[in-house]
Amino acid sequence: MTERPKRQVVDVSGGSLFIDLEDGRVRVRFPLFDVEAEGADRDEAFEQLVPLLREHLSSNEAAQQAFSEWAQEHIIEVEMTDEEIAESRELENLVERGKKIGKEFRALDAPSFVSFVASATPVVVDFWAEWCQPCHMLAPVLKEVTDELSLPVGKVNIDEYPDIWEEIPSNGIPTLAVYTNGRRRGIVVGAGRSPDELKAELQPFLS
């Protein structure tokens, strides 16, 4: 029998302290931060705890570091559901399709980047990395839009050419940058856009 796929999760529930109260309710406390919540049962109490933990971590860098260290020691494997397996396979297919399409874009190094962005008409540079799944998933959308707008596309691997990437005012990939005559006209950060949405974000930089 084939073993069911598993995924790694941080066992926050297992690292929490559950207390049965006299009124039948349950209190749960996350000892690392002394954050607690109550509910009618363990599941409800934990559901109430999770957003409180997220809020505590959202703006507290020290807490984020402490949780990251704690999480490394509380990772467990759980079997994936049928829905999770289907989503995982769909994601793999999207990434593989994106990798194939991404090969159609011109790979730029430092010298060719300079000449590419010097174009008198707008060009798009895709800043990406091999390990970045959203970068691969963006490729089909980017190709559809740039084909429609007749925009040349070049791509820069930020791991291979960090000096080029350091000049871009972005802290995440994928990042698309539009250039004309060597001047950066604007950037679009992130994936998850439809072709129409991406086109609408690029167009202000094309005129």
Q: Which structural domain, as residue segments, surrounds residue 132?
A: 101-205
- Pair (73, 26) in one structural domain: yes
Q: Are residues 109 and 171 in the same domain?
A: yes
Instruction: Confirm whether 49 is domain-assigned.
Output: yes
- pLDDT confidence of residue 91: 80
Q: Can you give the CATH number for the domain in which 130 is found?
A: 3.40.30.10
187 part of the active site: no
- From the candidates 32, 37, 135, 191, which is the catalytic residue? 135
Handedness of CA 107, 111, 114, 119 (dihedral sign): negative
pLDDT at 92: 86
Given this model, what pLDDT does residue 9 score? 85
- Which segments of the chain have a pLDDT < 70? 1-2
Comparing CA positions, the residue from 179, 174, 181 lying closest to residue 206 is 179
Position 85 in a domain: no
What's the whole-model pTM score?
0.65
Cβ atoms of 30 and 48 closer than 8 Å: no
Same domain, residue pair 33 and 105 = no
Within a 13 Å sphere around the CA of 126, how many CA atoms are in the beta-carbon half? 30
Report pLDDT for 139.
96
In a domain, 1, yes or no: no
Last residue of a domain, one of 48, 79, 110: 79
- Which residue among the candidates 124, 132, 156, 198 is catalytic per the annotation? 132
45 phi, psi to nearest 5 deg:
-60, -40
Query: Are 62 and 114 in the same domain?
Result: no
Active site residue 132: yes
pLDDT tens for residues 155-196? Answer: 999 999 999 999 999 989 999 999 999 999 999 999 989 999
